[in-house]
Structure 1
Amino acid sequence: MREKDLLQLLTFIAEEDAQISTIVGFFINQLGYDVKSINQIVNHGVTMNIFQVIDNDQDFGNGIGIQSLSEIDWSTSNVKHEIHYNDSEDYRKKLFVANPKVPREFTCFIKG
C-alpha cells in the first residue's frame, strides 16, 4: 500500500471512522486496493494486539470484539463490523501531529 494511503487507513481507524463498509468503499472501491491487502493489515493489527474488530450488532452497548476475522464480510454493506485501536490515545498521539508517519508496526505494508 502506498505510504499516504496506509497513513490514511490508520487515521480512519484512529478517528473511529473504520466501519468495514467505509473501509471497503474508500480503499477498495475508490483507491483500487484488493481485499487481501486490507485484510492483511487488519490481521496484523489484531495479531499484534493493536486493533480489535468490534461487532456492533451485539446487544452489549459498545459492541464486543469478534473472535475470528473470518467472520468479517468485506463488502460495502457491512455496517456491523468496525475496527478500533486497543490503545487509541497512543496512536492518536502518533497520527495527529504536524508531520505524521506510519507507525513502525505497520511500515512493512508500505509498497511503492
Structure 2
Amino acid sequence: MTEEDKKHELYKKVERCYEILCKKWMGLIIHTLMTEPKRFSEIHVAIPDLSKRMLNERMKELEDCGLVLRNVITDRPVRTEYSLTRMGNELGASLRTVEMWAKKWL
C-alpha cells in the first residue's frame, strides 16, 4: 500500500467518525454515558431537549456503530441499561479534550 493510499484510507476513517459525531445529540449521549451505565430515562433526563423518539433513534445508531452496549437486566422489574463499549470509552476519552476546550472558550 502506498503512502497516498494510507492517507486516503485514514481520511475515510476520520470522515466516518465525523459523520457519527456530527449527528445532533451523538456527542452529548456519549458524554452522558462516560461516567457509568444509564437507563434510557436517565439519559433522557440528562439531555432534556432531546425527544424520546430521537434518543431511541440515536441509541440504535450508536449500538450499530459498536459504541454503545444495550444490556437487558432481567431482575424485577426488567430494565435496560446502556453503557459505552471499549471503543465508545476510547472515543469518550477523546471527547474530554473537546469538553475542556468548550469550558475554556465557549
* Local SS of the residue matching 1:99: helix
Equivalent residue pairs, number: 77
- 1 or 2, which has the higher helix percentage? 2
TM-score by length of 2: 0.55
1:7 has 2:27 as partner: yes
Identity of aligned residues (%): 9
The amino acid of 1:50's aligned partner reads: L
Change (3 A) 1:7 1:48: closer
1:48 has 2:47 as partner: no
The amino acid of 2:73's aligned partner reads: N
State the alpha-carbon separation in 1 of the partners of residues 67 and 43 from structure 2. 17
* Local SS of the residue matching 1:96: helix
Which structure's relative contact order is higher, taking Cα pairs within 8 Å and 6+ residues apart? 1
1:96 has 2:96 as partner: yes
Q: Which residue of 1 aligns with 2:45?
A: 25
1:36 has 2:53 as partner: yes
Moved over 6 A (4+): none
The amino acid of 1:85's aligned partner reads: L
Higher-Rg member (1/2): 2
Give the drift of 1:83: 1.1
State the alpha-carbon separation in 1 of the partners of residues 57 and 46 from structure 2. 17
Give the alignment's Cα RMSD to 1 decimal: 3.0
TM-score by length of 1: 0.52
Change (3 A) 1:89 1:9: closer
* Local SS of the residue matching 1:7: helix
Alignment check: 8 A CA contact 1:54 1:83 kept: yes
Q: Could you list the per-position Cα deviations for residues 60-97 of structure 1 after superposition, in whole angstroms to 9, with x for gaps in the alignment?
A: xxxxxxxxxxxxxxxxxx98211111114412321222
